[in-house]
Chain A
Amino acid sequence: MPTSLSLVDRMQEKAVLAAAVVSKVASMDEAIAYVADVCANKEACQILASGCAEPLSDTAEELCRTKQQKIVCAPDMPEDVVAKLAALCEERGIAVITKGMRKRLGGIDIALTMAAAGIAETGTIVVRSTDEEVRLATMVAETHIAVLPAGAVVADSYDLEDRMAEWMAGPDYTAFITGPSRTADIERVLALGVHGPLELHLLILEGN
């Protein structure tokens, strides 16, 4: 018998349609392990995917050389999460940072953030990024991994109106993010990862 999809399932379905990679996790620990695994399993020189292998002008090529070690950045995440993540990453030779994004504009591997809300209708996550480190992390990283608490998923953007209006009462920078960065500006052929992340992973955190 056909049943209507739950909000979370709909969120997942729509996010996948927008080319996001979606998984469900039962705990933050699971999410942390996921991040470390994705980073460890990335190709040794994943940055190639962002264009460093292409014939570049001398200035652009210089920027490519600034990156040496695999890096996960986790700005604005709870301290215990960062500590666990750092421990897990260290044994794999991955650095974990929480700030200093401006020094890493050549590219970092992974940004880990918390989403404030999810919009099921379009598979969109809402990331509050008034903190400049969050803003930059989610733009400069090749892969953005966002943890979305299942309870934060709403049916559509209209449901967020009141909350957003509150956020906007003072200086604020909020982003709706749906899938990875994309363009179709050349011959309308879809290409993922233009200025922002090449991949968006969504970890839907179930339970409390």
Chain B
Amino acid sequence: MQDAANLKDYRKQLREALENEFQRQALDKFAVAYRTSRSNAFAGIDAPELIAEIAAAKDAAVDHLPELFEEFKRHAEAAGTKVHWAATAHDANEIIGAIAKENGVRTVVKSKSMTAEEIHLNDHLEGQGLEVTETDLGEWIIQLRHEGPSHMVMPAIHLSRYQVADLFTEVTHKQQDVDIQKLVKVARRELRPKYCQADMGISGANFAIAATGSIGIITNEGNARLTTTLPRVHVALAGIDKLAPTLHEALRIIKCLPKNATGQAITSYVTWITGAVPAASAKDGKKVHHVVFLDNGRMAMARDPEFKQVLRCIRCGACANVCPIYRLVGGHKYGHVYIGAIGLVATYFFHGREKARNLVQNCLNCGACKAVCAAGIDLPTLIKEIHARIQDEEGHPLYSKAVGQVLKNRTLFHTMLKSARLAQKPVTGGTPFLRHLPMFLFKDHDFRALPAIADTAFRERWEKIRPRVDKADVKVALFSGCVQDFVYPEQMEAAVAVIASRPGVAMDYPMGQSCCGLPLMMLGEKKAAKELAAHNMNAIDAQGFDYIVTLCASCASYLKHGYKRLFKDDPAMAFKAAQFTDRVIDFSSFVHDVLGMADESFAGPAKDVTYHAPCHLCRGLGVTEAPRALLRDAGLNYLPAAEEDVCCGFGGSFSVKFPELSKELLRKKIDNLKATGATAMATDCPGCIMQIRGGFEHDGTTFEVRHVAEYLAERLKRK
């Protein structure tokens, strides 16, 4: 459970988590294995279609939760179930506590429920003098250790067999073997008497079917069946968002959830319970059955146009499985009660700003969670949105406000960059990197060499190099982004050469353009980001061009998707934004798909080159084939690297805020690149180049890191 008072303390907790060697290895192994088992599980199934189906069904249900509740209640009560609505966590605890009291309950067994974790139900019941035992193996283990879960589906994934053996030794007062199969059997036998003695069973619910008043529970161990069968009282606790109109929707979710969670085709058990079923232990032979629905902020979320999609979540935990940060630090530091990307969002709503403030900053915006989400939730955007909201509610930090002020004023920003060019002279030592920096300023940032600002910005070179085209078939506006304009102008020059090799393409570089604004979104400065977007849309008159081409994957993805979102509530600007974004295209797609350049355009000796897929290109724009095809067409021998599409750790301001995490991600990336045997790497994003080139430089390894455009330019056939 992440409970740091401020960002500094949070970073300290993260550093401690990084030192947990066992956890890191376990999560690494899982992340790699998960990818394969997930894709095997979905073989032959149209996953995007299934995900779209789930998203649409959830959206429709979220708009009618009160009606669905009434319908559920009517059917469930006709079948002998008592149905409750709890507005808050406190109310839910009180309701369940009261049910225990009126039924003379002394002991409780529970099957896994994240909702019960959310409201800290065990603490409440124990405070009432009840004995509560978790029966899911992982949950029991963490209950005995007085911890929260560290993964939504595998609560004890952070623990080793040795830790479990020690724990069980303590619990049974007998020395336990470290053999996992034996430990599982011990748990089986130790928990069996608990079920036999329990007066009340508490379960969660994966579904609540309004049409029949039924609940559905998904488990592998079967503990939910015992929990709901042996005790005379059964209470199911469910978030109000678990309501579905009919079985139809639930069956779709079942088809997806286990596959997305762990790569299992289906869990061992899916249990459907309707009404008060026969129970020999109950007084009149019928189970005392209650279903408690929890609101706790969900209804407010359902009314929030931006955040209602959070209620689509089916709790598969996949967003944690693919998150590069979760993989480094684990769920106790990457969540409060709910874990992973969804946890960052849910924490704000269910547990408050205090608990969410640090967490939401710890996101690379790499989009891996969004790509894997079983319900198509746009998690990275929502995380940034919450960051912005918290700052709006609490006041913006000085540095973030200052960056906003500078970036939205192009003249000021560019003047500052030019002054920095002069100021850096003493520290570059004539190299393209900043050297001899006073290191006390950069204590935690010494894991990569930072690039120097170029002597002549691209905007200052443009007039000299711009190709003159008499008869233009295609008109292109170049968007450079700050890094390529001021740090890597040679990448832009290479792109101009490649594009100019095709006759009839007129290029323009509108001078008024400035930073795309993504860094401001990363800092939660949404208002300044909006001003900057409007500025760029004015600087580049979209109607005068067929394409707006950018070599920066992050700019491209943000210009394409972010601008539309910024102005969605302003019809006039939304129209303008649509005109603008429809023309935005990344360099590789433009050259490969639009210009159709292929092997006849290039010549040169074979050379091994590996590739890094920028997050904002492969996931942000769904572009995966164009750059690789271009490299091959240019005569390069492309050697795929392991985890090619996993983030390099740059994440813009992320690497400044969380240098320890950025460093670890960069280390992994570099190891994977080296392992290909190549000594050159191509990519499509200057940010990734800054990070990876800086990493190799710091490492002292000779490794060429360049933009795809540069490789293409040097291999252009001379005419």
Contact = CB atoms under 8 A, between A and B. Distances in A.
Contact of A169 (B30, B212, B221): B212
Given A165-B246, A172-B214, A194 B174 contact: no
B159 A186 contact: yes
B272 A172 contact: yes
Interface string B151-187: 0001111011100100000011111110011111111
Interface size class of A (residues with CB under 8 A): 35 or more
Interface stretch (B261-269, B439-447, B502-510, B694-702): B261-269
B171 A185 contact: no
B189 interface: yes
Given A51-B185, A172-B214, A175-B272, A186 B161 contact: yes
Contacts of B156: 185-186
9 contacts: A18-B268, A170-B274, A172-B274, A178-B265, A181-B221, A185-B154, A186-B141, A187-B161, A194-B223
B254 A157 contact: yes
A179 B174 CA distance: 32
Interface stretch (B131-139, B329-337, B489-497): B131-139
Nearest to A128: B272
A186 B26 contact: no
Contact of B138 (A121, A179, A185): A185
Interface size class of B (residues with CB under 8 A): 35 or more
B160 A60 contact: no
B229 A60 contact: no
Contacts of A46: none
B175 A55 contact: yes
B458 to A, nearest CB: 50
A168 B209 contact: yes
Contacts, number: 221
Contacts of A17: 265
B141 A185 contact: yes
Interface string A142-186: 000000000000001110010011011111111111111111111
B440 to A, nearest CB: 43
A156 B45 CA distance: 12
Most interface-central of A131, A158, A176, A194 (chain B CB within 10 A): A194
Interface string B27-42: 0011001000000000
A139 B225 CA distance: 7
A59 B161 CA distance: 24
Contact of A139 (B26, B80, B229): B229
Given A185-B137, A185-B154, A193 B180 contact: no
Interface of B: 26, 29-30, 33, 79-80, 135-138, 141, 154-157, 159-161, 164, 171-177, 180-193, 195-196, 209, 211-212, 214, 220-223, 225-226, 228-230, 246-248, 251, 254-255, 262, 265-281
A96 to B, nearest CB: 20
A207 B279 CA distance: 36
Nearest to B184: A191
Interface string A103-139: 0011000000000000001101000001110011011
Contacts of B277: 130, 132, 171-173
Nearest to A48: B185
A161 B189 CA distance: 37
A194 B137 contact: yes
B193 A60 contact: yes
A55 B174 contact: yes
Contacts of B189: 50-52, 54, 56, 60-61, 63-64
A197 B223 CA distance: 11
A139 B226 contact: yes
B220 A181 contact: yes
Contact of A175 (B29, B136, B270): B270
A64 B177 CA distance: 19
B225 A51 contact: no
A165 B251 CA distance: 12
A187 B160 contact: yes
Given A63-B192, A195-B223, A196-B225, A132 B279 contact: yes
Given A63-B192, A138-B225, 11 more contacts: A18-B268, A56-B190, A122-B266, A165-B246, A172-B273, A173-B229, A174-B271, A175-B269, A183-B137, A194-B137, A196-B225
